[in-house]
Structure 1
């Protein structure tokens, strides 16, 4: 928690290290604090900063996802231009399954009824091995697809057995997961995706004990977590995903 609070910016938001805040680190900083029923010391300034950003032009969907979620965490009113709502309602193609996830998540928070197009596009990218991906299945794309479908209608998720076979192939002996089968080393992002997929499919995590050991080995001396067991800097995103796994994997 000392690591997380140290990333707060005095004028609102969270930073990667120091300097200007950004919405990604603010989102993950708040998610960690919320996980432990804590609040930022700069809460008021953070809300004011995000509301100011929200009044500016709506740029990339990832930034919008972070801003809308931050305001939602604080139960603040979310104002979105009608022109952007129109874009969301008529979107039929997406650059990736991650982008499709951002689209469905934003639409849910804004209480829009525009899921048919996203649903059809996502389902069209389920492959013969059960996983999802534009060219081939990978564990992170599969997670984003399942997270989206689960929020739209859980009954849309098919071929659970094949999906779990794919996830099993991505699990290493160290407890971490790889992005696709047959490669090395494991990283935090696919490990988080693997744990979330098991959760969505209501399956027990695979070899949870060694997964816990893998995650514990990612913690740096400053309290934060990195993405690889070999080396790396602590980031709020990696810290949230690591803590989420540690907090939830033993509960299932």
Structure 2
């Protein structure tokens, strides 16, 4: 764990050094498997979700995967086999192939047909009840579905979806079911509102909620910090504590170049590496 002079070690004129970038890129590419995808454990088969995190992380560093065609074929092959299923799986495929500039009519048609079957009675997408405990927010699948439909340029009822999201707005300005606001749900809500044309800079109560969460801190894991920083960004805001945020992120980096969930524990994964790079990018360090 790197604890000493972290900012001085990595910053060059307030930007991360070339050495830092190479370390992270090398970590990501070491997770690239023969089937075309990525998996942090480096054991085949690749993970669609990890492949998405890997490609999006490389994009934050202005780098393309070493073999973009094989990465795209990892997902396109699943479409032909009929094994690309679920909102998360299709989201990963669309995000990656869109990033690589290889969206096909076949993928558009497949994604639209599959995703529209997941719209629920409340106007969102995915499960309303009995949500798996590992899912961070009841709005995650709605965000992913909306993002997919926007990328493939599909018409959708924006008013109905926005109304569903606003139904989860609480008195404290945050979002979450059962009147319990969370950073994750607030982040996803602001993402959805942005995608659907809401003027998020007018969400004053949500801004106040995020500023309170920033001031009290209570940040244990890098995903919490990601939701906070990116949630503020969705409202046109920057963190008031960039040095503190950056130090937390850099303490999560491991010797192999990847990032873990926290500074004092955990192994590096492609997911946490994506969160780390997204935060640094938002702060202007990449």
Same fold (TM over 0.5): yes
Structure 1 unaligned blocks of 5 or more:
179-184
State whether structure 2 residue 117 is matched by structure 1 residue 87.
yes
Once the 2 structures are TM-superposed, how far is the Cα of residue 50 of structure 1 from its aligned partner?
0.9
Separation in 2, partners of 1:140, 1:75: 29
* Aligned position for 2:181: 137
Matches of 1:87 and 1:237 in 2, distance apart?
A: 28
Paired residues in the alignment total 241
- Is 1:124–2:167 an aligned residue pair? yes
Tell me the residue number matched to 1:164.
207
Residues 10-52 of structure 1: CA distance to partner in whole angstroms, max 9, x if unpaired? Answer: 2201112211111111111111211222222232221112101
CA distance, structure 2, for counterparts of residue 214 and residue 83 of structure 1: 42
- Output the TM-score relative to the length of structure 1: 0.87
Q: Which residue of 2 is the match for residue 107 of structure 1?
A: 149
Instruction: Indicate the SS of the match to 1:209.
Output: helix
For the structure 1 residues 244 and 250, does the alpha-carbon distance in structure 2 shift closer, same or farther, using more than 3 Å as the test? Answer: same
* 1:181 counterpart residue number: none
Select which of 100, 103, 107 maps to 1:74: 100
Alignment of 1:1-252 (within 5 A): 1-19=25-43, 20-55=45-80, 56-76=82-102, 77=104, 78-81=107-110, 83-84=113-114, 86-87=116-117, 92-94=123-125, 95=127, 96-114=138-156, 115-135=158-178, 136-155=180-199, 158-160=202-204, 162-171=205-214, 177-178=217-218, 186-250=220-284
Structure 1 residues 46 and 65 mapped into 2: Cα distance closer, same or farther (>3 Å)? same
| Deviates further, 1-10 or 149-158 | 149-158
Query: 1:146, 1:157 within 8 Å by CA — same for their partners in 2?
Result: no
Q: CA deviation at 1:214?
A: 0.9
Which is bigger in relative contact order (C-alpha 8 A, separation at least 6)? 2
* Structure 1 stretch displaced more, 186-195 or 83-92: 83-92
Query: Deviation of residue 102 (structure 1)?
Result: 0.8
8 A Cα contact 2:36 2:74, kept in partner: yes
Looking at structure 2, the residues matched to 164 and 155 of structure 1 have their Cα atoms a distance apart, in angstroms, of 13
Contact 1:11/1:42 (8 A) holds in 2: no
The 1-side partners of 2:30 and 2:200 are apart by 42
Residues 174 and 182 of structure 2 are in contact (CA less than 8 Å); yes or no, is this contact kept in structure 1? yes
Aligned counterparts of 2:46 and 2:109: Cα–Cα separation in 1: 22
**Cα distance 1:213–1:172, how it changes in 2: closer, same or farther (>3 A)?**
farther
> Could you give the per-residue CA deviations for residues 37-85 of structure 1, whole angstroms, max 9, x where no partner exists?
2222232221112101123155221111101111111111124336425
- How far apart in 2 are the matches of 1:18 and 1:238? 16
CA contact (8 A) 1:172 1:186 kept: no
Query: TM-score, normalising length from structure 2?
Result: 0.77
Q: Give the 3-state SS of the residue equivalent to 1:227 in structure 2.
A: coil
Deviation (angstroms), 1:86: 4.2
